[in-house]
Amino acid sequence: MLVAVGIGLAIAVLVLLTRSGNPVDAGCYYHFDAADPWSRDGCFLYSPPIETLMVAIRGVMPFEVFTFLLRSAELLVLGVVAGPALAFALFIPAVAIELNAANINLLIVAAVLIGFRAPWVWAFIALTKVTPGVGMLWFAARREWRSFLIATGATAAIVVASWLVSPHMWDAYVTSLRGEPDDSIWQIWWRLPLAAIVVVWGARGNHRWALMLAVFLAMPRWYFLSPVVLVGLFAVVRLPRPLPVPRLAPIARRLRLRMPQPAPATSDGRPIRAPSS
């Protein structure tokens, strides 16, 4: 029942946003100037491989279709991650802002979760948001060197191939990153080391939820929609479910019977010993 309600609400949200939403972030991904993607007047901040991908997407679909597909993908991720809690998740402010703006943070959540089995997916995270790529330390801390080499190698291979084709684009991209000031108190220079510590701690203790928390800490900037990354905790935190009340009594009785009972004692606390035969 909860799943059906959640799916129904998700479809209603998608229809509503398609008609009257404000996909400002999707506009940044789509409407940049291909001749100067990282100009100061624009808001495109992703790497040259992503720029190349977006140019190809612009050639095959209009902006409205791109936005619809992006929001649909994010709702699909939210549904898979939240499960029966989908209806509740849709009313989380950060989730509502994310879906309206049509950002890619929920796709980042999907990449983190898929990355446990397919480490190469971390290339998507590193080539878009960059700093959450610190999560690849998860594999190194666990000495899963094959997975670590796959994650870092896939990222490096794409970067090198892109740089060989258009090195000037990488120069412009790096320059644009340096010119993006952050006047908030939540600056990345102190959040990133903290995120790395959380990753290593979580990896050594096999706490997958810590990796999701670290990715949130390592987001390049914190906006109103940034906490949407934390919905990934739905998939990696297993909360204990209370037993139905009718079943509690017999279980409690069995536990009491198995526990050693205290020896009888006198009024001053000394144990009463059985008489010897």
* Distances 202 to 94, 216, 259 between C-alpha atoms, Å: 25, 14, 35
CB of 6 closer than 8 Å to CB of 14: no
Mean pLDDT of the chain: 87
CB of 79 closer than 8 Å to CB of 10: yes
Closest CA to 126 of 145, 154, 162: 154
pLDDT at site 235:
86
Name 265's bridge partners. Answer: 271
pLDDT at site 250:
52
CB under 8 Å to 252, separation ≥6 — which residues?
A: none
pTM recorded for the entire structure: 0.83
* Distances 244 to 3, 66, 85, 123, 248 between C-alpha atoms, Å: 21, 47, 20, 45, 7
Closest CA to 131 of 70, 47, 26, 41: 47
Give dist(CA 108, CA 124) in Å, integer: 8
> For 267-276, what is the mean pLDDT?
53
Name 271's bridge partners. Answer: 265
> For 152-178, what is the mean pLDDT?
94
> For 185-197, what is the mean pLDDT?
93
Looking at this protein, which amino acid is placed at residue 73?
A: A
* Residue 154 confidence (pLDDT) above 60: yes
How does residue 268 score in pLDDT terms, banded at 50, 70 and 90? low
Looking at this protein, which amino acid is placed at residue 111?
A: A
Q: Identify the residue whose tokens are 């996909």.
A: 23
pLDDT at site 3:
83
Q: Tell me: the pLDDT tens digits for 60-99?
A: 999 999 999 999 999 999 999 998 899 999 999 999 999 9
Rounded to the nearest 10 degrees, the angle between the axes of helix 188-205 and helix 208-217 is 170
Looking at this protein, which amino acid is placed at residue 275?
A: P
pLDDT at site 274:
52
Give dist(CA 184, CA 189) in Å, integer: 12
Closest CA to 23 of 115, 114, 99, 132: 99
